Amino acid sequence: MRAGGFSALVPAALLACWCGAAQAYRPFDGTDAAVAETGEMEIELGALEYRRDGPDRLLFAPDVRINYGFIPGWEAVLEGVVGHGLSAGVPGTSLVENGAFLKSVLREGVLQEKPGPSVATEFGVLLPGIKAEHGTGASLAGIVSRRWDWGTVHFNAAAALTREQHGDLFVDTIIEGPHDWAVRPVAEIFYERDFGQFKTRSALVGAIWQVKDNIAVDFAVRAAHVNDHTAGEIRAGVTFAFGVTKGPDILSGLTATARKSLNQ
């Protein structure tokens, strides 16, 4: 969710606007009804991204989301974006879009290699930024994913209390090409309404290259209409996952080492 109105809080709004409530799946603003495997860390990284918002220009470097599967069907999420203003009136460097979330699969389905749709929810706290987005908010999203031979569709609906204490609604649809293609075309459309602040209509087209099971490279361009002006963005990034040592494993290892030392 986004910070203030363009008339009163222009720099903050330029850095934060038209990014959906449930960011979790590059290069989209929406997400899918899946979570990281238990004991797996998934990093979504946008190393360098460019945005034009009316007459203003911005760079985002980096745009990071960290997902950790801590128990089956659940993941913990931390995210944030470092924005760099390239034009007058926009902060030189700001930390925005900070959030801490939990995501859970409510119904295992096609994304979990089971029949039927996958259903998930994501909820959490919108955290204050640095030099922008002061205040704290909260969000709640529902996600449904369904896959066919020709492609996969993800539907998102979210509601939030923004950092400026406004109501916000977000509705999103993601369409992907065939899952077994190494490079699959993707598209996304969404509508967002921050009541009393802005309305956003956005469309994205791009592609995802599935390099390996745990590595994906993405590229996309998007166009949007925000209130009475247009905006555009170029996104490129990578998503990668790896296993991490879990707390019980560490404790077991330390206990075994201690016992060995005592027996010597």
Global confidence as pTM: 0.84
Spacing of C-alpha 234 from chain mean position: 16
User: For the chain, what are the domain ranges?
Assistant: 10-259
Confidence of residue 224 (pLDDT cuts 50, 70, 90): very high
- Determine whether 212 is exposed, middle or buried from the number of CB atoms within 10 Å of its CB (0-12, 13-18, 19+): exposed
Whose structure tokens read 């996309």? 220
Task: Tell me how far apart the 2 most distant CA atoms of the chain are, in Å.
Answer: 76
Q: What is the pLDDT of residues 72-117, one digit of tens each?
A: 999 999 999 999 988 876 768 889 999 999 999 999 999 999 999 9
Mean of pLDDT values over 213-240: 95
Beta-ladder partners of 5: none
Two tokens at 178? 């065939």
| φ and ψ at residue 162, rounded to 5 degrees | -70, 175
CA distance 252 to 54: 57
Q: What is the pLDDT of residues 2-23, one digit of tens each?
A: 333 333 344 444 444 544 454 5
Q: What is the pLDDT of residues 132-183, one digit of tens each?
A: 888 999 999 999 999 999 999 999 999 999 999 999 999 999 999 999 999 9
Angle among Cα 11, 12, 18 to the nearest 5 degrees reads 110
Q: Is the pLDDT of residue 219 over 70?
A: yes
Architecture of domain 10-259: Beta Barrel (2.40)
